Structure 1
């Protein structure tokens, strides 16, 4: 799933390509992905991109008419730049293509023929489609943006504010608190694993904790996200997924050696996802209970 660092880099990459370009048309091929109807997608035709930004895990593409095309890529969505004219689509609901932005050609060749056909494809490689597309007059009209918590890399997100947030969460498990977009914007499954590993803290640790633990976790959060943003800066969209995976210490590395202590990275299957951790670094050598395996009578 694209998280804060990848969406930040996507916004920067698309900004270099899209700002100042005119939209010829927007085709939505996966109708279920379109969550709004007024304004219609057709209202974007002829508009010029003025700003490409990010709110949490959302991409916000703004145009000169005052409208915003907001994309939430969910677990398996992505944005692909297309250099050439698109091939005909396979039809609605077939294949990974969810939407296509076709741009007006910026110039013509020596014979006067327009160049172009370039633009953006929004895709989703998943059986259960969760990608969301909105056309709105203001980004806060998207409920999942309006209810976002603070941005964790903003200057206003101080250690004191973080401490208050954790105290309010009480006995809730810290892994879930870090992932809760209503509490903190932009952190998902992967970077919460990484933050907790750097902080040497169990994913099941209660959110309410002593001040020294708060400081350790806060420093880890800022370090992990800041480093990931720096690594992703300037990386083209086509390479961002590989860059993210390469930068992970424990997430997605079940069975590999922990880069800090050499212990084997372990995995827990939890609800509809998994997470990874190092028992030596984070839980005093103890294995965490895997709820799915426990229900099957399997011990680890």
Structure 2
């Protein structure tokens, strides 16, 4: 799933390709992906594209006085093309969800792999009309997101597990499963640790968050969207590395499976050498 660093880099890449150009047409192939109907997507034809930005994990393409907003969910992606494409097959049966064609050629496809379709596309007049954006928590990379603000968030979360707090988009915007694993590994904290913690622990977690996200953005800076998946995977320390040695201490990276997701951690770095039970009701409080 693309998270804050990838969406940040994707917005920068698309901004350089799209800003100032006019849309020839925007076609929705997977009708379940389109979550709005007014204005219709046909209203985009002939309009000039403005700034491309993000809100947490939402990609926002400003088009005149409208906003084309996408949430790529777990398996969605943007694929740029330079020569016109011809759509074949039955609508909604393949990975193609939508296609944007620019006047004069070029454009991009919005795709989603797998059978579970969660990708969402919105055409709205204001970003706040998208429920997921209206309910977003603060962006962790803004100047307003200070250690004091973060400590207040943790105090309010109380006994909630810190892994879930970091991933909750209504609490902090943009962090998903992968980067929450990386942040907690960097902070040397158990994923099951309660959010209520000492000031020193909260400051350590804040620093780990800032460093992890900013370094990921730095690595992705200047990359095309097609290169971001590979870059993300290559930069991860524990996430997706089950059974491999921890790059910090050499211990074996372990995994916990819960619901329809998983997380990875290093026992030596994060849980005092104790493996976490591989079930959702496990608790390890340090």
TM-score (norm 1): 0.93
In structure 2, distance between residues paired with 1:88 and 1:143: 31
TM-score (norm 2): 0.97
Q: Does 1:136 align with 2:124?
A: yes
Q: How many residues align?
A: 282
**TM-align CA RMSD:** 1.1
Structure 1 gap ranges (5+): 106-115, 295-300
Residue 89 (structure 1) shift: 2.9
Which entry has the higher C-alpha Rg, 1 or 2?
Answer: 1
Paired residue for 1:148?
136
Paired residue for 1:39?
39
CA offset digits 1:192-230 (Å, max 9, x no partner): 000000000000000010101001000000000010011
In structure 2, distance between residues paired with 1:265 and 1:253: 6
Paired residue for 1:108?
none
2:136 alignment partner, SS class: coil
Paired residue for 2:63?
63
Residue 86 (structure 1) shift: 0.4
Residue 293 (structure 1) shift: 11
Q: Superposition pairs for residues 9-24 of structure 1, below 5 Å?
A: 9-24=9-24
Q: Superposition pairs for residues 97-176 of structure 1, below 5 Å?
A: 97-105=96-104, 116=105, 118-176=106-164
In structure 2, distance between residues paired with 1:54 and 1:292: 32
Residue 87 (structure 1) shift: 2.1
Paired residue for 2:189?
201
CA offset digits 1:65-84 (Å, max 9, x no partner): x0000000000000011110
2:223 alignment partner, SS class: coil
Structure 2 gap ranges (5+): none
Paired residue for 2:81?
82
Which consecutive aligned stretches of 4+ in structure 1 deviate over 4 angstroms post-superposition?
none
In structure 2, distance between residues paired with 1:34 and 1:63: 17
Residue 268 (structure 1) shift: 0.5
